[in-house]
Chains A and B, each alone.
Chain A
Amino acid sequence: MSANRDGDSRSWVLATVDEFEGRLTRYAIRLLGDEHSARDVVQHTFLRLCDAVPDEIQNHVGPWLFRVCRNRSLDVLRKNGRVESLGGSESEQLPARESDPAVIAEQQDLGRWVYQLLGELATSQREVIELWLNDFSYQQISQITGRTEGHVRVIAHRGLSRLREHPRTRQLLDDLPPGSTAKPVASARRLSRHSSMCE
């Protein structure tokens, strides 16, 4: 009986690793800025999962993993004296990188541009938007980051506004042919997310 439960628990841990390792590692790399530290943090996170009681976290394993990963990343940043970068001011100015024609040529694509710009947002804004990109709702982001849901709303709004208002983004938006609004796939994703949130 116990062996059976151990076997179930083991399968569950391994399945969770398969499901979340990539996303978690990418998130940690974004937070820490280097892959080696990120892999260490992710390993710590999954080892904590091995010690966890599946029944207690099965329903929210995603937010749980990201929260553990985030906290460990903060510890690493603190240890390296880089913690201020996570608490970074939300009023940071985004760099205007429009002087280099080669860079401009590479950034013709709006997606590539805004994704790159995302990495230059204040850390709190970047983090909230990235968690959203990882399919977490505001409520789950609030659980992961320890911020109130209202604060998450405001941070996400500020981040999106900065992305939209950057002169280069404005230029790319203006260059888009009329009527090229939301693409069907992403819209469907947005709506399915909305409906799953309302469940």
Chain B
Amino acid sequence: MHQNDDQPTDTDRDRAIRLSADVLGQLDDEQRRLLEVDLQSNATMRKQREDLLVVVDALSHQHAAESLPTPSLELREAIQARLEGEVCLPDKPVKPTSERTRWSRRRVVVTLAIIASLLAILAVPIGQAWRTRETANEDLAIMGGGGAPATLGGVKR
């Protein structure tokens, strides 16, 4: 397939990216050496680099010359207050109270439910035993003619 000469190839693009990185001082020694080799044989790249250097220098000068925003007294007061522990931490993630309350409520309900279940389980045999004992006492009372003390197990002395 014929490639259009006007379209930059990947290599051209990579070189151009390296060129920008070089102008911004972001190439290591080896990368710079390779770029210098490319530059020696490519006048267009040399011109691009020259232009980029001028643009970047102009930008740097303008940036350095621009006055910075004035220091904020309010900021310093807020920081002093924070450092002295006068301010709670509004930016720290704190669990919402309602969520915490909901959890503790759930815990109480679950505990109560378990206790109720245990009581129900224990109540059945206790109730049965109590009823059996009552019945046995009544039987003994009937057999002994009433009024006579009965012993457990129905043995009369």
A interface residues with partner B (beta carbon < 8 Å): 10, 13-14, 17-18, 21-23, 25-26, 29, 35, 38-39, 42-44, 46-48, 50-51, 110-115, 118, 129, 132-133, 137-138, 153-154, 156-157, 160-161, 163-164, 169, 173, 176, 180-183, 185-187, 189-191, 193-194, 197-198
Q: In the complex, what distance in Å separates the CA atom of A115 from the CA atom of B62? A: 7
Chain A's closest residue to B82 (CB) is A50
Residues of A with C-beta under 8 A to B62: 111-112, 114-115
Residues of A with C-beta under 8 A to B50: 181
Residues of A with C-beta under 8 A to B29: 198
Q: Does B51 contact A (CB under 8 A)?
A: yes
> What are 16 A-B interface contacts by the 8 Å CB criterion?
A10-B83, A14-B76, A17-B79, A38-B69, A39-B75, A42-B72, A44-B91, A47-B91, A111-B62, A115-B58, A138-B21, A161-B16, A161-B20, A183-B61, A190-B57, A198-B29
Q: In the complex, what distance in Å separates the CA atom of A173 from the CA atom of B49? A: 13
Residues of A with C-beta under 8 A to B58: 110-111, 113-115
Residues of A with C-beta under 8 A to B79: 13-14, 17, 46-47, 50
Query: Number of residue pairs across A and B with beta carbons under 8 Å?
Result: 145
Q: Which of B21, B52, B66 contacts A164 (CB 8 A)?
A: B52
Min CB distance, A134 to chain B, in Å? Answer: 8
Q: Does B56 contact A (CB under 8 A)?
A: yes
Min CB distance, B40 to chain A, in Å? Answer: 17
Q: Which of A112, A160, A173, A197 contacts B25 (CB 8 A)?
A: A197
B interface residues with partner A (beta carbon < 8 Å): 16-17, 19-21, 23-29, 48, 50-63, 65-66, 68-69, 71-72, 74-76, 78-79, 82-83, 89, 91-92
Min CB distance, A111 to chain B, in Å? Answer: 4
Residues of B with C-beta under 8 A to A23: 68
B59 touching A22 by the CB < 8 A rule? no
Q: In the complex, what distance in Å separates the CA atom of A171 from the CA atom of B21? A: 24
Min CB distance, B68 to chain A, in Å? Answer: 3
Q: In the complex, what distance in Å separates the CA atom of A160 from the CA atom of B82? A: 41
Q: In the complex, what distance in Å separates the CA atom of A48 from the CA atom of B52? A: 38
**CB within 8 Å for A163 and B57 given contacts A17-B75, A26-B69, A156-B21:** no
Min CB distance, A104 to chain B, in Å? Answer: 17
Q: Which of B19, B25, B51, B63 contacts A193 (CB 8 A)?
A: B25
B17 touching A154 by the CB < 8 A rule? yes
**Candidate in B66, B83, B92 with the most chain A CB atoms within 10 angstroms:** B83
